[in-house]
Structure 1
Amino acid sequence: MESKVQREFRNTLGMTFISIDPGTFMMGSLEGEPGKYDDEMLHNVTLTNGFYMQITPVTVGQWRKFVDATDFLTQAEKEGGAYIWVDKKRERNSSIYWDNPGFEQTDAYSVTCITWNDIQKFIQWLNQKHEGEYRLPTEAEWEYACRAGTTTPFSCGSCLSTDHANYNGTYSQLPGCPNEKNRKKMLPAGSLEPNPWGLYDMHGNVYEWCQDKAEWDTEKSLIINNTTYLDGVKNPLCAKGSSQILRGGCWGADAIHCRSAVRLTHDPNDCFDYIGFRLVRS
């Protein structure tokens, strides 16, 4: 008898995951896509293994359970606070960390002010529960899940609506797209419409850490000829570079920077109030 794949999984921390089937897709952006960067080279990618992806980023409440169980201190708490931007320069603020990101939040919000390195400790702890093997998504897995079978700039089409994403809709819209509102703040995780595969907040609200490393080719372009950006590649994961990839855009980003193909990097020690993460489960 053929076994049926469980389509949804909920763990003891209350994190809900949905099953993503293996498949082949075009990663990167189409030629002529408004806002396209050189490092979004269009290429064919195959993911040979299915995986479960968390339907929202990890929430404050889910992170709190980890901290309560382990007394874990984040890098922000140990190193003078998370970063904020002051006159286009980043500075640490000793009062800013995951439980006090500089704005009001509840346990339903996406946790921020967390470094890539902090996340690895969370994953190690979570994997000790023997509920599956958790990790960050690869960059290719993230874009595959974000696109959800689409080839348009956004999973909801050629224009991004504030019904589908929490972002700054008042400037840098794609040509032909109407201006939208700017909420100027984060929303609780999963507040808006999901993408066609049932994933929330893949565009906007918080940037999301990925497993891949990255190197810069120029000031404005990532190296494109790495293992992730070869045509016909299977299950790519870039392990070379001093930075980590982030995807998705955030509540303060414009539409161009919330596109499915856009790539951002940060040092793995960075922690900001606009960067969160979601997990996948093998």
Structure 2
Amino acid sequence: MKRLLSVAACIGLMPLFAASPSFGEAAKDYTDATTGIRFARITGGCFKMGDTFGDGASNEKPPHDVCVSDFSMAKQETTQNQWKVVMGNNPSFFKSCGDDCPTENVSWNDVQEFISKLNKLSGKEYRLPTEAEWEYACRSGGKSEKFCGGNDVEAVAWYFSTSGDRTQRVARKRPNGLGIYDMSGNVWEWVSDWYDEKFSSIKDNPQGPSTGSNRVIRGGGWFMLPKNVRASVRSSLEPEVHTYDVGFRLVITAP
């Protein structure tokens, strides 16, 4: 059964520490021929994941060392037009925002259907990012950034005070150091992991718990306060839930 609601609670606060300058550097871009989704190629590396600024919620602790391999991430949240190209419909609550606005009101299960259809159309193997990949990319390759792209929330995020009570067109704020937009604010983003309140993991390419009841969402959305669009903020929803402030972006391991 579909449920339409807002993610306006269960979150925390956060930032991170710096990785080696070679980590997270962007290589040549890649564009999906089916949808036009543009991807930034990201060199993997190791970083401190979780609340390293000391102002996070309990589910952002303890900060721990994580390493991720190379991958490519969509520069923008999946848009309403890109969803329509693959699925032939538009489930978004904010349809009036336009084709270049993020797709929202899609459940984690809906996203899996989108990915399956896109992979058949494109011959590729797109997927949702792991939570570790998401945070590494958000922080411009594991750097010490409070928000996804720096410490100035106004520069990088659409949130409660700036959004006009709705989503906004993608890529209008400043990108992070990898050329990726809107990882803080606009819409929350589904990732692949089952939710783990304890926030602990193996070091190398963690995939999250093997089972669970909720899937992780990251990044905060247009409805949130600045403290809830920080780089380390985590929340979760049941995978069948649809809300008007949750969307997604794709990754691919080897395009």
1:209–1:276 contact (8 Å) kept in structure 2: yes
Alignment CA distance shift 1:66-1:182 (3 Å): closer
Larger Rg: 1
Q: Which deviations, in whole Å up to 9, do the C-alpha atoms of 1:186-215 show, x marking residues without a partner?
A: 111111110111000000000000000014
Question: Which of 56, 59, 63 does residue 79 from structure 2 map onto?
Answer: 59
CA contact (8 A) 2:138 2:149 kept: no
Rounded to whole Å, the distance in 1 between the matches of 2:71 and 2:98 is 29
**Cα distance per residue 1:237-272 (max 9 Å; x no partner):** 112211000000101101111010010100000001
Structure 1 segments, 4+ long, off by >3 Å, are 155-159
- State how far apart, in whole Å, the 1-side matches of 2:246 and 2:148 are: 21
Aligned counterpart, 1:280:
251
| Alignment-derived partner of residue 205 in structure 1 | 186
SS in 1 for 2:242: coil
Is 1:134–1:279's contact at 8 Å kept on the other side of the alignment? yes
1:146 aligns with 2:138: yes
Gap regions ≥5 residues in structure 2? 1-25
Q: Deviations over 1:99-134 (max 9, x none)?
A: 4x1562211110011010011111111111344210
CA shift, 1:25, in A, is 0.7
Offset, 1:6: 6.1
Residue 224 in structure 1 maps to residue 244 in structure 2: no
Task: Quote the residue 1:45 is aligned against.
Answer: 66
Q: Distance in 2 between matches of 1:192 and 1:102?
A: 19
Question: Kindly tell me: are residues 183 and 45 of structure 1, through their superposed partners in 2, closer, same or farther at Cα, counting changes over 3 Å?
Answer: same
Residue pair 1:7, 1:18 contacting (<8 A) in 2 also: yes
What is the alpha-carbon distance in structure 2 between the residues aligned to residue 156 and residue 237 of structure 1? Answer: 24
Does structure 1 conserve the Cα–Cα contact (< 8 Å) formed by 2:150 and 2:176? no
Q: What is the alpha-carbon distance in structure 1 between the residues aligned to residue 27 and residue 139 of structure 2?
A: 22
CA distance in 2, matches of 1:104, 1:130: 29
RMSD of the alignment, in Å?
1.9
Deviation at 1:184, TM superposition (A): 2.1
Alignment of 1:201-280 (within 5 A): 201-215=182-196, 222-225=197-200, 228=201, 230=202, 233-238=203-208, 239-280=210-251
1:23 is matched with which residue?
45
Match of 1:8 in 2: 29
Take 1:110 and 1:31, find their aligned partners in 2: how far apart are those partners?
29
C-alpha distance in structure 2 between counterparts of 1:21 and 1:267, whole Å: 32
1:188 to 166, 169, 181: 169
**Inter-CA distance 102–280: structure 2 relative to 1 (3 Å threshold):** closer
Cα distance in 2 between the residues matched to 1:51 and 1:143: 13
Work out the CA distance in 2 between the residues paired with 1:145 and 1:134. Answer: 16
Q: Percent identity between the aligned chains?
A: 33
- Higher relative strand content: 1
Specify the code of the residue in structure 1 equivalent to 2:116: Q
Picking from 167, 183, 192, the partner of 2:159 is: 167
Which segments of 5 or more consecutive residues in structure 1 lack a partner in the other structure?
73-96, 170-180, 216-221
Q: Report the Cα offset of residue 151 of structure 1.
A: 1.4
Partner of 1:135, secondary structure, is coil
Q: Distance in 1 between matches of 2:82 and 2:95?
A: 19
Give the AA of the match of 1:127: N
* Other structure's SS at 1:234 match: coil
Q: CA shift at 1:153, angstroms?
A: 1.6
Distance in 2, Cα, partners of 1:31 & 1:199: 22
